[in-house]
Chains A and B, each alone.
Chain A
Amino acid sequence: MDNDSSTPTAAGPVPAKQHIRKMPVNWWLKKPAYLRYMVREITCLFVGGYAMFLLMLAARLDKPEAFETLLASPLAIGLQWVALPFAIYHSVTWFNLTPKVLVIWRGEDKLPGFLIAGAHYAGWLAVSAGLVYFAMSGGTDG
């Protein structure tokens, strides 16, 4: 603080004229990390959208034709293909951040983050395989 004698201290006078810089609306384009963050946050639109699609399917559970028509709709299929990469990006970013939220101590050491994230990835794989297996369990042949 030795460069400017007029620099106010906490106890000193508040400067009359401060320059306030405005946050640009496109701040999230200014740094790759911010852009990645924004994409991560925007995945919620696709997550929410697919939940709505599941609700539409649920509403057709007792109407075989309507159920099939919805699943065969090119619009629905197209939108889901757009949503898929965002859903995967959500999963990846979500699991990568788990070690920050789930901190496990063993004595003086933290359980290494890659173990916690790794366990989630392993679980993801197992659950995905399980879901596909479950969906096929009706069996195309019977």
Chain B
Amino acid sequence: MATTDTQSSTKTMKLEVFRFLPDEGEPPSFQVYEVPYRDDWVVLDALNYIKDEIDGTLSYRWSCRMGVCGSCGMMVNGEPKLTCSAFLRDYYPQQIKVEPLSYFPVIRDLIINMDHFIDKMGEVKTWLIPAEDKPIEDGEYLQTPAQLAKYKQFTMCINCMLCYSACPVFGQNPDFIGPAAIALGQRYNLDSRDGGADERADVLFSDEGIWECTFVGECSEVCPKNVDPAGAIQMAKVTATNDWFKSFLMPGGRKKSGGNK
């Protein structure tokens, strides 16, 4: 293990890192690394230092280093965090424990399997389903600032999955559609140009969807982008309930979701 030294600082800090190497056939374990402490470093910098200088076998995901790509999410001292935005100075001089995002299956070291999350977004159809087909010549779909405001907050999601790792309901039931996918469903349901609310409702308003949520609320607390998925889910519950009652009033009883625009 390298002892440290960088020109600017002789202070060091310890990182306790979750290791899982499936090919070795060993159970997961923790490995402690000593890294230089710099007050402008984030946890991701420390991991990069480990990878470059101490142990090249450590695996983890990252890309943008500026809180936009959503790939560097990990548990830092038990809290889901973007490691590129979690400063060492907020933990120094305590040891920092770094683990892969809670509740997801671990593929290797700090890398989780996100396939299930990607699938859920597909099921919810987190894309615009136009309410009316309009040829390009007819110009753009106009939207007022008030219409934009209804869903804008939910567009900020960077798919970092921190909210899932804060959600005990997801921990108990991996099939729960979960905070981000539901918030993204709402993002389109509340868009005045979108007409897909009814298609999405079969998944969003199912037992594995919003009704699994018990409003723990921690998803909104950990979200780095203020998406407030917990709020999105409660609003969806109100919409789904209105739809459900309306389905009794309407002849034929077909449940239609207007998405509460």
Residues of A bordering B, CB below 8 Å: 1-4, 6-8, 10, 14-21, 23, 27-28, 30-31, 33-34, 37, 41, 97, 100-101, 103, 105, 107-109
Contacts and interface: CB of A to CB of B under 8 A. Distances in A.
Interface residues of B, number: 44
A68 B50 CA distance: 73
B71 interface: yes
B218 A100 contact: no
Given A15-B113, A18-B113, A101-B237, A23 B103 contact: yes
A1 B78 contact: no
Interface string B38-70: 000000000000010000001111110000000
A4 B217 CA distance: 34
Interface stretch (B83-91, B128-136, B227-235): B227-235
15 contacts: A7-B108, A10-B115, A10-B118, A21-B103, A21-B106, A30-B78, A34-B168, A37-B218, A97-B215, A97-B217, A101-B234, A101-B237, A103-B231, A108-B149, A109-B149
Contacts of A17: 22
B22 A15 contact: yes
| Chain A residues touching B, majority SS | loop
Interface of B: 20, 22, 28, 51, 58-63, 71, 78, 102-103, 105-109, 111, 113, 115, 118, 145-146, 148-150, 168, 171-172, 214-218, 221, 228, 230-231, 234-235, 237-238
Contacts of A30: 78
A8 to B, nearest CB: 7
A1 B71 contact: yes
Given A4-B111, A97-B217, A108-B145, 10 more contacts: A3-B111, A14-B115, A18-B106, A19-B20, A19-B28, A28-B168, A30-B78, A33-B217, A34-B218, A37-B216
